[in-house]
Structure 1
Amino acid sequence: MTLARAPRPIEPVAPGLRRMRLVATGLLVAMAATFLAARHFAPLHPAIGFVRAFAEAAMVGGLADWFAVTALFRHPLGLPIPHTAIIPRNKDRIAGTLAAFLRDNFLTAHVVARRMRGVDVARAAGRWLANPPEANGRIGSGAARLAADMLEALDQERLGGMAKGAIAARLRAIEIAPLLGQALTAAMANDRHLPLLDGMIRWASRTLAANEHLIRDIVHSRAGSVMRWTGLDETLANKIIEGLHKLITEMADDPAHPLRIRAEEGLAQFAQDLQAKPELRAKVEGFKVEMLENQAFQHWIDGLWESSRAALLRLARDPERALGGKLGEALRQFGATLQDDARLADTINRFARRAAVGAASDYGDGIVRLVSDTIRGWDARTVTGRLENAVGRDLQYIRVNGTLVGGLVGVAIHAVDTLL
């Protein structure tokens, strides 16, 4: 036995619409009562004829507009009069028309691109980050709880696997050798490589100090018996160590030292080779692949995802506290930078425009179909109730205006008839 589908609940009438219906209907009833009273007392004074004319024409205007408004949503008095219940009968056509309107005016790539040209996403985000709204409001706290619940409800294994897979896939797709070469070239152009070079020199000094015994052993093992007997091997080893220490100290103190200049030239050549030499780029890519396949790197990716997820949950559960620490300060500084740095803002705005245009191109048809199919899936009562709640209050004003305007026209006609 099949169960009958439960009927959809009738859309509740909005309080504003119900109130305006009562006003419009009450005005029509008042005009009817006025007409009856004026008709009864008409012989008492000629001026009552104007009241009767007003009430009579107002009834006609009010009834005509009541019929027109009612015919949009249902059959007046339940009678199947032709060309009434317009919206329920044309539900599917309305869905198609609305979907076409959305597609042609909002969801095509050129329309989105044109509208996004005037939208300054970067500076708007910068103002929000620099001066964030209160996080403890109803909207803010509700959004934070919703975000936390959604993040906890998602399948962590699948979500984590997707995030880690996306990171690894992105790293595999990037050829890092040219990027490293460009970064090193840019750093050297602005002397940002000097701390690296100084660090290398300090590392060489510490390495030499930690391995002096190896130099002594090498000199002792390769010296002849006479040198060992006379102790000259020890003297020679000390001179070598002393000379190396002196050389490293001079390189550290003198920016124009020849060996330091040669090291900078080597760095510049290495940066160029990273961008131009295929064999070096292949070696760097091979090293990258080995690093990505290393188990230790996989553990690092796991830790990165878990720490990011935990930070997101902390931010969602207590946004005011999270934004009050170093993260909040960093976000506020970034917001100030977005407002002050025109180049960065232009870059972000271009990215936002391209993302919006790409989303419209990729998902616009799907959004249009969703709107159209959703409206087609509603039954006639649902469509009628929602549209009437949306615009019905203004339509009731038409009934009121029709009653009053009809009455004024009736007075004008009666005046002309009286005068002639």
Structure 2
Amino acid sequence: MTGTGTNTPTARAARTAGAAGFAYTAEDEERRRGVRRMKAAATALLFLVAVVYALATWAEASGVTGWPGYVAAAAEAGMVGALADWFAVTALFRRPMGLPIPHTAIIPTKKDQLGESLGTFVGENFLSADVVRVRLRALDVAARLGTWMAEPAHVDRVTAELATALRGALTVLRDADVQAVVGEAITRRAEAVEIAPGIGKTLDRVVADGAHHRAVDLVCARAHDWLVTHGDSVMDAVQGGAPGWTPRFVDRKVGERVYKELLRFVTEVRDMPGHPARGAIDRFLADFAGDLQADTDTRARVERLKSELLARPEVQDVIASAWASIRAMIMSAAEDENSELRLRARASLLSLGVRLKTDTRLQGKVEGWLEDAAAYVVTTYRAEITSLITDTVASWDADQTSRKIEAHIGRDLQFIRINGTVVGALAGLVIHTVSHSLGG
């Protein structure tokens, strides 16, 4: 599995992003001012308890009996509690009084270990298949999605967003790259499939159904019209092919005769459905259809012709230009709210929403797909996700991290000092009272 090391692309990206996104802001400075005010309040309470202790001790030394001992004991314990909690809170962020005391300045010195522990904790307790499945099952995503998609207004919004995304994707794609891929795909597919048998079967059905008769009618009609219009050209061609020693009037007579016979033949073929020439055409096409399917030589010739046609630049240009037409068609359909594409997409989404809302079996299937997908992601990429946490924390500056964390939680930590002072004083008072009573 990749991405778990400290010098992988994932780790380097995490360190870069972490360093860029972790900054001490003006809001942090405002919080630190609040922390300083709470520090001053906790320290003032400590000095107040110290003053009370001094006064109570002085009163007791002056001969005052009774209450000074209780007050002194409470104040003394309060000072101890305040100093102990001050040490504990300060040790989180720095070394108390700058002394190299072990296990102090925990956050600056243990930042990377804390990041690793946090990543491990998240991976073990959040990125597990069972936790993800239970959470997704509790959310009832399929039913909620169905209820939301069953509303026409919501479907209109989704359709519009999909159309925008489709237009954006088509805009980003380079036409030259897509045309090259489309051309290669079509060419490769055409070369991989033998077309002769398919053409033969199609031609066989066409001949059997007589569908080719209209094509023959059209060819005969056009041939007749051409002969009528270009009679002189036909006769000139015949005369031009005659031997040089024949008289000119003979060549002219022969040309006229050939033209008349050719015109008569085409006219008869055009006007007579049962003309022998038509039958010959039927037999030729039927034989050719059979050869396309069964004759090895014919099939090989067709394949060679296919390869030659595909290799021609003109054909490749036509194939490549197909993407431009498809792209323009899709862009136009995506922009038009009343296009068939968007109307069908809207109807399909609305139908899906209604089914998701009411069909419990479909809801179960969708829930299962979502759970399987989420479980696969967290189990397959758990290391990459947790490494994002550890590498990001590792990229932070230790002193800046300490200041930022103190700015966010330092105010609450100062309440610990205040509570320690109060609780210590109460505990000292109770201990002194019990000791005095027992020794009394």
Percent identical residues: 35
- Verify the 8 A CA contact 1:10 1:381 in the aligned structure 2: no
User: Relative to structure 1, is the Cα distance of residues 412 and 21 closer, same or farther in structure 2, using a 3 angstrom cutoff?
Assistant: farther
Give, in whole Å, the separation in 2 of the partners of 1:17 and 1:311. Answer: 56
Does 2:172 match 1:156?
yes
> Hey, what does 2:67 align to over in structure 1?
47
The 1:311/1:76 distance shift into structure 2, 3 A limit, reads farther
CA contact (8 A) 2:42 2:414 kept: no
Counterpart of 1:106 (choices 126, 132, 140) is 126
**Distance 1:71-1:309 versus aligned 2 partners, 3 A rule:** farther
TM-score normalised to structure 1 length = 0.52
Q: What RMSD, in angstroms, separates the aligned Cα atoms of the two structures?
A: 5.1
1:412 CA displacement: 0.7
Q: Which amino acid counterpart does residue 127 of structure 2 have in structure 1?
A: L
Distance in 2 (alpha carbons) for counterparts of 1:154 and 1:223: 56
Contact 2:38 / 2:411 at 8 angstroms: preserved in 1?
no
1:135-284 counterparts in 2 under 5 A? Answer: 156-157=172-173, 221-222=272-273
Correspondence 1:302 to 2:317:
no
Name the residue aligned to 1:121.
141
TM-score scaled to structure 2, two decimals? 0.50
Contact 2:49 2:79 in 1 (8 A): no
Unmatched tracts of structure 2, length 5 or more: 1-21, 155-159, 190-210, 219-267, 276-314, 338-342
1:379-410, Cα deviation, whole Å (9 max, x unpaired): 21233234334543443332222121111101
Whether the 8 Å contact between 1:20 and 1:393 is mirrored in structure 2 is yes
Match of 2:358 among 335, 340, 348: 340
C-alpha deviation, 1:160, in angstroms: 11
Match of 1:418 in 2: 436
CA distance in 1, matches of 2:65, 2:374: 73
The number of equivalent residue pairs is 286
2:109 maps to 1:74: no
State which of 401, 413, 417 in structure 2 corresponds to 1:383: 401
Deviations 1:33-74 (A, max 9, x none): 244245336356733443333332222111111110110111
2:47 alignment partner in structure 1:
32
Which residue is 1:392 aligned to?
A: 410
Q: Structure 2: which amino acid aligns with 1:30?
A: L
Give yes or no for contact 2:42–2:415 (8 Å, CA) kept in 1.
Answer: no
Question: In structure 1, what is the equivalent of residue 109 of structure 2?
Answer: 89
Contact 1:62 1:399 (8 Å CA) reproduced: yes
Sort the Cα spacing of 1:401 and 1:160 in 2 relative to 1 into closer, same or farther, 3 A: farther
Partner letter of residue 303 of structure 1? A
Question: How far is 1:302 from its partner?
Answer: 1.7
* AA partner of residue 120 (structure 1): D
Query: Aligned residue for 1:365?
Result: 383
Q: Is the 8 A contact 1:34 1:52 kept in 2?
A: no
Q: Aligned to 2:107, what secondary structure does the other structure show?
A: helix
Deviation, 1:84, is: 0.6
Matched, 1:19 2:34: yes
- Aligned ranges 1:54-65 → 2 under 5 Å: 54-65=74-85
Using the alignment, how far apart are the partners of 2:143 and 2:346 within structure 1?
18
Give the Cα–Cα distance (whole angstroms) in 1 for the partners of residues 387 and 110 of structure 2: 18
Letter in 2 for 1:157: L
Q: Are residues 358 and 393 of structure 1, via their aligned partners in 2, closer, same or farther at CA, if it must alter by over 3 Å?
A: same
Aligned in 2, Cα 1:23/1:299: closer, same or farther, shift over 3 Å? Answer: same
**Map of 1:407 onto structure 2:** 425
Q: Is the 8 A contact 1:38 1:52 kept in 2?
A: yes
Say whether the 8 Å CA contact 2:147–2:357 is kept in structure 1: yes
3-state DSSP class of the match of 2:363? helix
Q: Deviations over 1:257-280 (max 9, x none)?
A: xxxxxxxxxxxxxxxxxxxxxxxx
Contact 2:74 2:424 in 1 (8 A): yes
CA offsets 1:1-52 (integer angstroms, 9 cap, x no match) = xxxxxxx965664655653553354144234224424533635673344333
